[in-house]
Amino acid sequence: MFVMDRPGSANSSSDLRGDYSAAAADFTVAQDWASYGEAEHERWRRLYARQSALVADAAAPQFLAGLTRLDCSAGIPDFAEANAVLGTATGWQLVAVPGFIPEEQFFAHLAARRFPVTRWLRAEHELDYLVEPDVFHDFFGHVPMLLDPVFADFMQAYGAAGERAMAMGALDMLARIYWYTVEFGLITSPDGLKVFGAGIVSSAGETRYALHDPAPLRLGFEPLRIMRTGYNIDRFQSSYFVLDSFEQLVDGLIGLDFGPLYLAWRDTPALPADQLQAGEINLRNRSEARP
Ligand SMILES: [Fe+2]
């Protein structure tokens, strides 16, 4: 779920496709797994088969390990079954939601180790692209990483940071952290660059593009640089930020005092995503130098 690409979007749910009428105060709904039809399970199987083959040698080992443990190739997963696996591994739980939810509730869920997962699956004509995240994006893209203990702790800390960012009028800055890591993050590995961001691993086109296309910048992980950098919501990214390890997320962000950074930069226009700043190095060659 990437709530931040439409800030304030769920203040009016009338233009969102999910059914919000039965949502609780925290915007959760029942998944109602029994209501999915065979055509939807079959569509999930095709999406899963295509994307799991594509990420097999493109995704970070932590993502692939999590995907294997979730064992969800046969059809739209039952969140209750996934919760048994997640609960044992990292204490996270999935909650079903109708779609985008307001930032306040989104952050509150993450801070309590609850991940909101959209309950509906994309339509047949949307296999390659859809505007709002669906259950395939939210589950296939996000849930495997929640089984990694380090990433799991980072996600909770991210949620806990939301209240202050909202209070200080700096939600855009915090949202860029999520965008450039949770959604579109890359990481180095002994085998070269790998993807782990949910927006990449759930997209056939962007999985190839993020790793192999010469056009986008690939920059080292630097929290303030990320918080100041704009992003593309309607096309592949112009910049990707590359972690050396997932511990970098914890070391670089948990304990970082965001307040002074918000005060210093919240009123400054974002840096363009496609421009290298003075002194920066495009890491693109790091992966190409490897056989
Ligand atoms: Fe997402």
DSSP per-residue string spanning 10-79? GGSGGGSSS--TT--TTS-B---GGG--HHHHHHHHHHHHHHHHHHTTTB-HHHHHHHHHH---SSSPPH
State in Å: Cα 158 to ligand 1 middle. Answer: 14
Mean pLDDT taken over the chain: 92
pLDDT average, residue stretch 113-141: 94
For ligand 1, the distance from its centroid to the CA atom of residue 263, given in whole angstroms, is 28
Residues 84 and 49 sit within 8 Å (Cβ to Cβ) = no
Residue pair 27/96 in contact (Cβ under 8 Å)? The answer is no
Q: Are 47 and 203 in contact (CB under 8 A)?
A: no
Sign of the alpha-carbon dihedral angle for 170, 174, 179, 180: positive
pLDDT at residue 10 in the model? 42
> 290 CA distance to ligand 1 centroid (A)?
30
Q: Distance (Å, rounded) from C-alpha 236 to C-alpha 192? A: 21
**Three-state DSSP class for residue 85:** helix
Decide if pLDDT at 230 tops 70: yes
CA of 181 to the centre of ligand 1 (A): 11
Distance 289 CA to ligand 1 centre (A): 31
Q: Tell me the per-residue pLDDT of 194-205, one tens digit each, with 9 for 90 and over.
A: 999 999 999 989
Q: Summarize pLDDT for 29-82 with one digit per residue, the tens.
A: 999 999 999 999 999 999 999 999 999 999 999 999 999 999 999 999 999 999
Class of domain 3-288: mainly alpha
Distance CA(11)–CA(26), nearest Å, equals 13
Question: What is the whole-number distance in angstroms between the Cα of residue 138 and the centre of ligand 1?
Answer: 6
How many angstroms separate the alpha carbon of residue 247 from the centre of ligand 1? Answer: 21
Q: What pTM, to 2 d.p., does this model score?
A: 0.93
